[in-house]
Amino acid sequence: MSHRPLRALSLIALIALFLSSATGQEAHGPTVFVQSYVWRNPDKAFGGFSGIELDARGQDMVVLSDRATLWRGRILRDAAGRIASVQTSGPVALHSSEGKRLGGDAGDSEGLAMTPEGRVFVSFERLSRIVFYPIDGGPAVRLPRYEAFRHLPPNDALEALAIGPDRALYTLPEGDVTHVGQTPIWRFKEGVWTQPFMISREGRWKPVGADFGPDGRFYLLERDFRGLFGFASRVRVFTIRGDRISAGAVLLETPPGRHDNLEGIAVWRDQSGAIRLTMISDDNFFPLQRTEIVEYALRR
């Protein structure tokens, strides 16, 4: 997502964050709030995080900035499984297939998906495409560009990206590209792009992140920016079987201002056996916002 449309209201959103925390508003849905951890780093490239991936234990981490940098690190947790600190070795600049460092519209990296081997796929919004990085700092391997991607609005294009249990890639746009209250999901499987199904689009909720959980279900993070009141976030879960997808169920919905601009999601199973949702915020490189790692657990 472009930073420019949000900066004028960032101060208002910050006030909303404070008021929401002060009044004790809680999220709605079959989840339990675990933690909100504010992550800080003095590196000038730090911020703008739009994607996050975790290993099966919720420790080894990869995060993606929307300014074409990739960060690998580790989340250190206490005995209760809460985040104690974050260590990182980043950033690593992303490059084109020709080996040139990405920037400008070509470097608007938004979606992140990680293979079981730890390699990453990245989706880009303004110049809509998906690439694979066999090596973090090496040249990209371009996937075929689906014809539908060429017609996406530049600031409402590919935001969410996930790898399914069948190792197929799934992606969807942030914007309302159908104008009929539905969002297409595109799948890349066995070298071919298809659009097997759509999901309902409700109100002003926009898809911004996705992941498949250890239960094989598709988790979708959505955001609604409500101006004076700040950001609201929602997570829906879907079951995919072949070319069919379920209607979806809301697992989490936070009131505006409860968290910052959550854009990335990773789903894993914690030491108690509960499914945990870990989300990260995009601070838009604006000093009045924050990089927040937020965790909720599904009720057992």
CATH number of 4-298: 2.120.10
Average pLDDT for residues 192-203, to the nearest whole number?
95
Scored b (16 or more CB within 10 A) or e, 102-113 reads beeebbbbbbbb
Using an 8 Å Cβ cutoff, are 92 and 136 in contact?
yes
Mean pLDDT of 203-223: 97
Structure-block tokens of residue 228: 């004076």
Look up residue 1 and give its two tokens.
């997502």
How far is Cα 276 from Cα 63, in angstroms, rounded to an integer? 17
**Non-local CB neighbours of 128 within 8 Å, separated by 6+ positions:** 145, 149, 150, 152, 157, 158
What's the rounded Cα separation, in Å, for the pair 135 and 141? 10
Give the whole-number percent of the chain exceeding pLDDT 70.
90
Hey, is 285 helix, strand or coil?
coil
Q: Please, are residues 221 and 264 in contact by the beta-carbon 8 Å criterion? A: yes
Instruction: Answer yes or no: are the C-beta atoms of 221 and 265 closer than 8 Å.
Output: yes
Q: Token pair 């499914």 is at which residue?
A: 275
Report the DSSP beta bridge partners of residue 188.
Answer: 169, 193
Q: Which tokens sit at 208?
A: 């911004």
Which range, of 5-14, 124-133, 269-278, averages the lowest pLDDT? 5-14
3-state SS, residue 140: coil
Residue 291's nearest CA partner among 135, 132, 83, 137 is 83
* Positions of E strands within 118-248: 120-124, 129-133, 141-142, 158-163, 169-173, 182-189, 192-200, 206-212, 218-225, 231-238, 240-241, 244-245
> Residues with Cβ < 8 Å from 147, sequence gap 6 or more?
none
Task: Report the candidate in 97, 110, 176, 95 with the shortest Cα–Cα distance to residue 144.
Answer: 97
Q: What is the pLDDT of residue 252?
A: 97
pLDDT score at 155: 85
Residues 66, 3: Cα–Cα separation, whole Å: 10
The pLDDT tens digits of the residues spanning 149-197 come to 999 998 899 999 999 999 999 999 999 998 888 999 999 999 999 999 9
Residue ranges per structural domain of the chain: 4-298
> Cα–Cα distance between 88 and 61 in angstroms, integer?
9
Instruction: Tell me the per-residue pLDDT of 12-45, one tens digit each, with 9 for 90 and over.
Output: 444 444 444 433 445 667 999 999 999 999 999 9
